[in-house]
Amino acid sequence: MPVPSPSQFGQILDAAQKGDYALASINVTSSNTINAALYAFAETKTDGIIQFSTGGGEHASGPVKNGALGAIALAEYVHRLAAELGVFVALTTDHCVPGKVEPFLNPLLVEAERRHAAGLPNLFNGHMFDGSELSMKANIEVSQGLLKRMAPLGIVLEVESGVVGGEEDGIDNSDADHSKLFTTPEDMLMVYENLHELGRFTLAATFGNVHGVYKPGNVKLEPTILRDGQAAVIAKHGEGAKMDLVFHGGSGSLLSEIHETLNYGVIKMNVDTDCQYTFTRPIADHMMKHYDGVLRLDGEMGDKKVYDPRSYLKKAEQSMKQRVIQAAEDLKSTGKTLFGQI
């Protein structure tokens, strides 16, 4: 069962924290993008995470236009295929803002509760609540309610303090107040002190993160913010209080910045934009090179070999696979699967 159980997922996170490496968390929207991530994890013997945004789930649901149902369908697909792989592949959801809790996150928790009552394994290992648009007090209150519901099911809650800039999946923080792009030590203390007794959680603390890819110099990350926040928590509550942190906006980040965050407790990094690009780039190349074959021009019939979707989707999967492998290498998790050890 290479989608880990709650206990196994906890051990995977613990190993990453202890070993100063992180898990690549790859946003997907389809079976093809899932396959790209699975290829990468399996070929490199790397444990990783596949995650679904609200928009990704809705896209996957097709005419039903139901993000929760789409996420469930894709999760079931992963469970089927991952069972044949010799690595752990965890499943999470991404950036559920307050307005999406009822239509997206609540149905997923209802399904988890149904499965739990029936003695079935969880579909998901974790869910994210992005309460960054709320005050810290309101963010914490909603997070507490969700964690109280998720912890008995063995599901990890990811929370966010501060705002990740840029735009992703319809969430536009391009004009966010600059000060909100940086989590304070007080914010991190507040999160820890209000959540740690309720269940397992991870924190997406912000340190200038921006979704998307920008030209060098346009984004200024300050990883020391994570160091200072962790130090404040540990100083007050001891070494055991070190939090599991999540790095959002990993596409386009400098390797030196990624490695620095690993020293400060980052155990998960999200990669989306780069994966979108590397999936699409070979498709564009295929269409340009085989223009007269993919179209029926001047009464001709084209070339079935090049307009067969498999001909270019295979290229897309292989291209995105390489970006996922790069992410795992950058995060120092390559080859460190715990499959067969726990």
Domain range summary for the chain, segments of one domain joined by +: 6-330
Rounded (10°) angle between helices 67-82 and 31-44? 30
Tokens at 90, concatenated: 């965890």
What was the pLDDT predicted at 182?
A: 82
**Which residues on adjacent β-strands are paired with residue 25?**
49, 270
Cα separation, 333 vs 27, in Å, equals 18
Please count the residues of the chain: 342
- Contact (Cβ atoms closer than 8 angstroms) between residue 189 and residue 148: no
Pairing of strands 201-205, 156-161: parallel
Is residue 94 flagged as an active site residue? yes
Q: What is the pLDDT of residues 119-158, one digit of tens each?
A: 999 999 999 999 988 999 999 999 999 999 999 999 999 9
Cα separation, 284 vs 243, in Å, equals 42
Pairing of strands 171-173, 166-168: antiparallel
Which residue do the tokens 């992963």 mark? 78
The DSSP secondary-structure symbol of 251 reads T
C-alpha 18, offset from chain centre:
20
| Whether this model's pTM surpasses 0.85 | yes
- Contact (Cβ atoms closer than 8 angstroms) between residue 338 and residue 47: yes
- Stated as kind and residue range, the H or E segment containing 245 is strand 245-247
- Which of the following is catalytic: 14, 20, 47, 94? 94
What was the pLDDT predicted at 278?
A: 98
What was the pLDDT predicted at 227?
A: 96
Smallest Cα–Cα separation from 48: which of 60, 36, 59? 36
Distances (CA, A) of 205 to 106, 163, 179: 24, 9, 13
DSSP 104-167: IIHHHHHHHHHHHHTTPPPS-SEEEE--TTS-HHHHHHHHHHHHHHHGGGT-EEEEEES--BEE
What b/e readout covers 62-93, taking b as 16+ CB neighbours within 10 angstroms? eeeebbbbbbbbbbebbbebbeebebbbbbbb
Cα separation, 194 vs 318, in Å, equals 43
Residues of the chain predicted below pLDDT 50? 165-168, 171-178, 216
Cα separation, 95 vs 118, in Å, equals 28
Which residue do the tokens 């998960």 mark? 268
Cα separation, 87 vs 1, in Å, equals 9
Which residue do the tokens 């928590």 mark? 233
C-alpha 99, offset from chain centre:
20
What was the pLDDT predicted at 52?
A: 98
Cα separation, 105 vs 111, in Å, equals 10
6-330: which CATH topology?
Answer: TIM Barrel (3.20.20)
| Region of 268 on the Ramachandran plot (φ > 0 left; ψ -120 to 50 alpha; else beta) | beta
